[in-house]
Amino acid sequence: MKIPYVVSLNTRAAYATSPFMIASAGEAPRKIVAEDFEWDDNFMPAPLTYFAALALSRIFHRINPLHRILQKDVDMLMDLYPADIPLKYSVPCIKDEQYWKRSYATKFPSRKELGVKFWKGKFLSACLQDYLENVKPDIFIVEDAVELSSLVSPYIYELTLNQLQMIRQPTPPIPYENSVEDVCEFSVPKLYDHIPLEPVLMKLYNLQEISLVFGVNNVEDNYLTRYFEFSMGDCESLCKGVEYLNHLRIFRINRSNLDCSKVKIILQNLVKKECIEELDFSHCKIGDYGMKALGGFIYIHKNIKRVRIANNRFKEVGVQGIAYALQMNPAAPIELIDFSLNPMSLECATTFAAAFVRCKEKPQTLIVNSCGFTGASAEKMAGLLSLNRGLTRLDMAANNLSGEAEITLIRALEQNKKVLRIDLRRTHISEETQAKVNELLERNKNLIGQETEPSDEIPPLYLGEPEYLIWEYNPNNPDYIPGRYPERVPEV
């Protein structure tokens, strides 16, 4: 490409000659300024090729000269082409990334993107997103959506929908003069359907990541609870479309009315796709029944790595479903589980600790930020590190770990040489405890790659027996704290 694009603006600004140097006696008489790339602006008339390119740029929908002219003229045309060329003409022919970057900045000026390497895919994904987010379901034309999806499908690898419009709610019928009819607005069947996603998704064969929000943004004074609902029909249409996505790795539904029955249908369809690596159902309404289904998904699926279920509505029974799946050594290489913002009781903490004491390899990251752990529950969560050797990261921010939990945490970290990171922000621990934790974590980082003796992992009394048999700790026995081994009664 041309110099202004090959050399970034930051580089040019960094190596630009200072005003003081330009005004100096040695620089002032210079006639050739090599570092000035715009020296010919307003100095001489543009060549005829420029005016020819200017004329061609206005009729691209009629004449496409890109395959018949020199590359230097193609570069010139890329700067002259308007950003509003219809996609059916520009997408098949224009490959220049600078053109698509300029088109993105022109059509979506409020969006700021960093580190984008494929601007054509980013722009086309934003165009499809803008169409699907703002189209009215009542006048939705499937053929237009399929045509747009087919046009952009080779270049789209991720699709994000931050809102979906609702279908118009029917009104009660107008009563006749001599008839008796129910005209109550609450007697009208409720409709929560959005646009069907199946015909759109089935065309996006390269899609690797999908993020959905079933809601409406910027409702202001027109807020209605139905704007954030979605029906079983929406769920079934989504699942039918996902069946065609053979490269899907990340599946997200956030800030939506995703309850147990809907998440079960979604998981039943996703369990067939071995390419799935991450599930994100944060800020939804999943209860215990849905969490049991998620536990079964983790146990059966062979490739799932990350599960995020922050801010849902499950309790003890739901935690037991996930804990059971983790204890049964699932086939999936599960790496991360995020339970943040879910209030958990002492029984939940007991179940968690019992499960993670038995987990030897996976997951490696557990996030339980702001789960309301305090007192005995905080002590159990801190003490699970005494026997767990799979976790390398534990996030417990915004919980209360003061008091006995601090002592248990230090005792557990002294025995655990695998954990490398612990997030203890806003946990009310003392500075001395934080300093000791940092010291032990630094010790663990220095031990990476070194083999540790078994006697350093488990006390000698328990080397010859399975830990879960001699360590009397289970969900029904909340009296024992991880790291405090029961007294060994000698055999007679």
Please, what is the Cα angle at 63 between 60 and 68, to 5 degrees?
Answer: 110
**Strand order of the sheet with strand 209-212?**
158-161, 209-212, 250-253, 278-280, 306-308, 336-338, 365-367, 393-395, 421-423
Q: Is residue 492 part of a domain?
A: no
How does pLDDT run across 359-388, given as a tens digit for each residue? 878 899 999 999 999 988 998 888 888 888
Q: What is the pLDDT of residue 127?
A: 95
Residue 241 has pLDDT above 90, yes or no: yes
Q: What is the pLDDT of residue 470?
A: 36
Mean pLDDT of 235-240: 92
Same domain assignment for residues 438 and 390 = yes
Rounded to 10 deg, the angle between the 71-80 and 48-57 helix axes is 50
Same domain assignment for residues 209 and 147 = yes
Report the sign of the C-alpha dihedral through residues 460, 463, 464, 465, in that order: positive
Q: Is residue 27 part of a domain?
A: yes
Tokens of 257: 């009315």
Q: Is residue 180 part of a domain?
A: no
pLDDT above 90 covers a percentage of the chain that reads: 46
Mean pLDDT estimate for the chain: 83
Alpha helices in 15-118 (DSSP H): 19-22, 48-57, 71-80, 87-93, 97-107
Same domain assignment for residues 330 and 389 = yes
Which residues on adjacent β-strands are paired with residue 422? 394
Same domain assignment for residues 53 and 136 = no
Q: Is residue 476 part of a domain?
A: no
Residue 455 has pLDDT above 50, yes or no: no
Same domain assignment for residues 201 and 264 = yes
Same domain assignment for residues 20 and 148 = no
pLDDT above 70 covers a percentage of the chain that reads: 83
Please, what is the Cα angle at 397 between 391 and 398, to 5 degrees?
Answer: 150
d(CA 173, CA 187): 11
34-38, 313-317, 325-329: least confident range: 34-38
Residue 479 has pLDDT above 90, yes or no: no
Q: What is the pLDDT of residue 387?
A: 80
Contact call for residues 456 and 383 (beta carbons, < 8 A):
no
Domain span at residue 107 reads 45-117
Q: Is residue 65 part of a domain?
A: yes
Residue 172 has pLDDT above 90, yes or no: no
135-139, 246-250, 391-395, 485-489: least confident range: 485-489
Residue type, 482: P
Q: Is residue 402 part of a domain?
A: yes
Tokens of 411: 């005792």
Domain boundary among the residues 55, 87, 117 is at: 117
Task: Count the domains in the chain.
Answer: 3
Same domain assignment for residues 153 and 72 = no
Same domain assignment for residues 86 and 113 = yes
Q: What is the pLDDT of residue 424?
A: 94
Q: Is residue 176 part of a domain?
A: no
Same domain assignment for residues 349 and 400 = yes
DSSP 3-state of 70:
coil
Mean pLDDT of 446-471: 52
Query: Could you identify the residue written with the tokens 């026997």?
Result: 387
Residue 182 has pLDDT above 60, yes or no: no
DSSP 3-state of 319:
helix
Same domain assignment for residues 113 and 29 = no
> Which CATH number goes with the domain that contains 320?
3.80.10.10
Length reported for the chain: 492
pLDDT-derived band at 174 (thresholds 50, 70, 90) equals low
Same domain assignment for residues 162 and 71 = no
Burial readout 450-484 (b: 16 or more C-beta within 10 A, e: otherwise): eeeeeeeebeeebeeeeeeeebebebeebebbbbe
Same domain assignment for residues 73 and 141 = no
30-34, 130-134, 396-400, 439-443: least confident range: 30-34
How does pLDDT run across 59-86, given as a tens digit for each residue? 888 888 888 888 888 888 888 898 889 9
Q: What is the pLDDT of residue 213?
A: 94
Residue 31 has pLDDT above 60, yes or no: yes
Q: What is the pLDDT of residue 158?
A: 94
